[in-house]
Structure 1
Amino acid sequence: MTTTNEIVDKIAAHNGMTKAQAKGILEAVFQAITAAASSDEETSIAGFGKFKVKASAEREGRNPATGGTIKIPASKKLTFAPSKALKDALN
């Protein structure tokens, strides 16, 4: 597992900047993705992938403890679809 601090260290070392500058850049990227997702917009990063918001409708489910029917409320999820280049790099 790679942590945010490890990513910041790599960005700083690769670009000759301070860790504080690299952390600011990384946080700005996360904020941009979050802001787009909050507006139901897609974020596409060429060569990496797309972050999309998917909505799931309200549905009925089962309570595993009692077996009774419950309503699962509608919700939104942030999904990631890797680009072909990323998929190829993994395989």
Structure 2
Amino acid sequence: MSMNRSELVAEVANKSGAAKTVVNDVLDALFATFTEQVSQGEKVSIPGWLAVERTDRAARTGRNPQTGATIEIPAGHSVKLTAGSKLKAAVAKK
């Protein structure tokens, strides 16, 4: 089972007593901040819960699975999410 965004907004609104529109705006601002900081190469950390950072991928040679032809894959970036100690502890209890 998974929780989608609208279910998350409803749950946070219920637990915090805030309106759903306020919670939705806060989530939008949170994700915008993550996007801005991580795209600039900054690490965003919420101690105990999670850390989000940009990683670098080196250029490499790959193969087209359909033709077997060699292709050059350019260098790029990826995103790394790391669970914090509180999140890991919560999962371990289940």
Question: Is residue 17 of structure 2 the alignment partner of residue 11 of structure 1?
Answer: no
Residue of structure 2 equivalent to 1:74: 75
Question: Is residue 34 of structure 2 the alignment partner of residue 25 of structure 1?
Answer: no
Q: Kindly provide the CA deviation profile for residues 32-80 of structure 1, in whole angstroms up to 9, marking residues without a partner as x.
A: 1111111110000122110010010111001111111100111111110
Distance 1:16 1:88 in 2: 26
Residue of structure 2 equivalent to 1:53: 54
Q: TM-score, normalised by structure 1?
A: 0.93
Long gaps (5+) in structure 1: none
Residue of structure 2 equivalent to 1:64: 65
> Which SS does the other structure have where 2:79 is aligned?
strand
Aligned residues: 91
Residue of structure 2 equivalent to 1:35: 36
Q: TM-score, normalised by structure 2?
A: 0.90
Distance 1:88 1:20 in 2: 31
Q: Which amino acid aligns with 2:12?
A: I
Long gaps (5+) in structure 2: none
Distance 2:31 2:56 in 1: 21
Q: Which stretches of structure 1, 4 residues or more, deviate above 4 A after TM superposition?
A: none
- Percent identity reads 33
- Which of 35-44 and 79-88 deviates more? 79-88
> Which SS does the other structure have where 2:26 is aligned?
helix
